[in-house]
Amino acid sequence: MKKIEMKTPLVEMDGDEMTRILWGMIKDKLILPFVELKTEYYDLGLLHRNETEDNVTVEAANATKKYGVAVKCATITPNKQRMEEYPELTQMWKSPNGTIRAILDGTVFRTPICIDSVKPVVKNWQAPITIARHAYGDVYKAVEMHTAVPGEAKLVFTGDDGTEETVSVQRVDGPAVWQGSHNKESSIRSFAKACFQYAIDLKQDLWFSTKDTISKVYDGRFKAIFEEEFEAYRAKFEELGIEYFYTLIDDAVARVIRSKGGFIWACKNYDGDVMSDMVSTAFGSLAMMTSVLVSPDGKYEYEAAHGTVTRHYYKYLKGEETSTNPMATIFAWSGALRKRGELDGICELVDFADKLENACFDTLNSGYMTKDLTLLAEPGTEVHPVNSGEFLDIIAGRLRESLGA
Ligand code: NAP
Ligand code: MG
């Protein structure tokens, strides 16, 4: 078979620990034999971020802006314990995902990979539910206060033009707790655009929920901005036969549970934090959750939702066999290659991405799975537990067959 040619490079962001090991294996076994892979490579491994004073992360994000499509391996976000583990670190570098998200002004969409042998806890869910979480502001950027005596709190806004607006929060007769939170219209607008854009990409309905009956101004503004931004996408939605649907968060929760799945649910920051854990757990496993960062102007960064799987990495370093699930990382590659194919008009690349994903599904459906999935498999499923390398080899065999290579 002649390898599939690419036009524009993918932005490739390598990462850390077990997922870095999987990264190399996936490329060697599933991509390089079939695709004349063109990438612009950025090493976001922790030590290289440290050597470049984290400039490599910024460069990788800017390259994503330039080329439009990136694929990223999971990376370590250093904390106190990591500072001890890696004494050469000159700073507790910020989360690369946070840096990239800020530069792209993007929204993260998380989608479970559904397979026959692992059924969602919610039995009427037949198709994946994608959660879009707004990643700026609200309680995550709030200021808080605990007061001890009776009194009154006021919210004061001082405009740069000298105007001032004041509202009384509450008068209290004893100790109290207080919180001041905000959001920016520009951020809400970017969030809305990314959601509408992604709904068009997936050809799926978009749901958005807030609590605007109670929070009439704050959540009311979210609702209004979504309605305003929708106007630019309305015709495309109608053409595709998809719907934008707004409802209250409590109504949304009830409808989601009763639904068949197969839509995107846009959530405010806190709702998205909570609901994405609920939805992903109900679908099965973090190892089967994909993630894509979409910017309002249509740039895409694909990755797995899980981390670097540290515990497996330390077993691997000791020479022990590991059965780490590479599915989400494979789907990051297939997602990125498919998008590159669509943007560059390379049908073979789109077809390759489909066949790669189908080879994964065939492998899992015939019972070959990593150990995390064997524990979740429906009773009666014939399971053959395999290690990561064996799993990738079986997928590669099936892929080769379906490509006629
Ligand atoms: P994690 O890497 O997601 O792993 C937590 C546990 O989940 C693992 O120990 C494993 O359970 C299971 N697991 C996750 N992915 C799996 C897979 N592909 N196959 C099999 N089992 C899997 O989270 P963490 O251990 O909390 O974080 C490790 C590092 O990842 C941290 O340094 C963190 O900063 C980083 N992180 C990065 C990203 C990102 O780059 N997007 C996201 C989250 C975390 P068992 O051990 O029980 O098998
Ligand atoms: Mg959370």
Using the predicted structure, report yes or no on whether residue 184 has a pLDDT greater than 90.
yes
Angstrom CA distances, 177 to 157, 180, 218, 332, stand at: 20, 11, 20, 43
Distance 81 CA to ligand 2 centre (A): 20
Mean residue pLDDT across the chain? 95
pLDDT tens digits along 95-139 = 999 899 989 988 999 999 999 888 899 999 999 999 999 988 999
Q: What number does the ligand 1 atom closest to the CA of 326 have?
A: 18
Ligand lying nearest the CA atom of residue 277: 2
pLDDT tens digits along 189-237 = 999 999 999 999 999 999 999 999 999 999 999 999 999 999 999 999 9
Using the predicted structure, report yes or no on whether residue 277 has a pLDDT greater than 90.
no
Share of the chain above pLDDT 90, in %: 91
Using the predicted structure, report yes or no on whether residue 381 has a pLDDT greater than 90.
no
Using the predicted structure, report yes or no on whether residue 267 has a pLDDT greater than 90.
yes
Atom 32 in ligand 1: residue holding the nearest Cα: 76
As a whole number of angstroms, the distance between CA 352 and CA 335 comes to: 11
Q: Nearest 5 degrees, angle CA 226-CA 227-CA 229? A: 65
As a whole number of angstroms, the distance between CA 251 and CA 368 comes to: 40
Work out the pLDDT band at 284, boundaries 50, 70, 90. confident
Distance 159 CA to ligand 1 centre (A): 44
Residue in 81, 308, 392 to alter for ligand 1 test, most ligand atoms within 8 A of Cβ: 308
Q: What number does the ligand 1 atom closest to the CA of 95 have?
A: 34
Query: Tokens representing 89?
Result: 């670190």
To which residue do tokens 């919210």 refer?
A: 155
As a whole number of angstroms, the distance between CA 44 and CA 52 comes to: 10
Atom 23 in ligand 1: residue holding the nearest Cα: 307
Nearest C-alpha neighbor of 335 from the set 198, 241, 239: 198
Distance 276 CA to ligand 2 centre (A): 8
At 358 the pLDDT is 98
Distance 306 CA to ligand 1 centre (A): 5
| DSSP track, 331-353 | HHHHHHHHHHHHHHT-HHHHHHH
Distance 85 CA to ligand 1 centre (A): 17
As a whole number of angstroms, the distance between CA 387 and CA 119 comes to: 22
**3 state SS of 324:** coil
Ligand lying nearest the CA atom of residue 271: 2
pLDDT tens digits along 236-265 = 999 999 999 999 999 999 999 999 999 999
Ligand lying nearest the CA atom of residue 306: 1
Sign of CA dihedral 244, 249, 251, 253: positive
Angstrom CA distances, 38 to 19, 50, 243, stand at: 21, 26, 37
Distance 273 CA to ligand 2 centre (A): 5
| DSSP track, 123-183 | TT--EEEEEEE--SSGGGG-EEEEE-SSEEEEEEEE-TTS-EEEEEEEEESS-EEEEE---
Whether residue 316 contacts residue 301, with contact meaning beta carbons closer than 8 Å, is answered with: no
- Ligand 1 is surrounded, with C-beta below 6 A, by 74-77, 97, 286-287, 303, 306-311, 324-325, 372
Share of the chain above pLDDT 70, in %: 100
pLDDT tens digits along 3-62 = 999 999 999 999 999 999 999 999 999 999 999 999 999 999 999 999 999 999 999 999
To which residue do tokens 């080769």 refer?
A: 400
Whether residue 349 contacts residue 338, with contact meaning beta carbons closer than 8 Å, is answered with: yes
Work out the pLDDT band at 285, boundaries 50, 70, 90. confident
Burial 176-192 (b: 16+ CB within 10 A, else e): beeeeeebeeebbbbbb
Work out the pLDDT band at 337, boundaries 50, 70, 90. very high
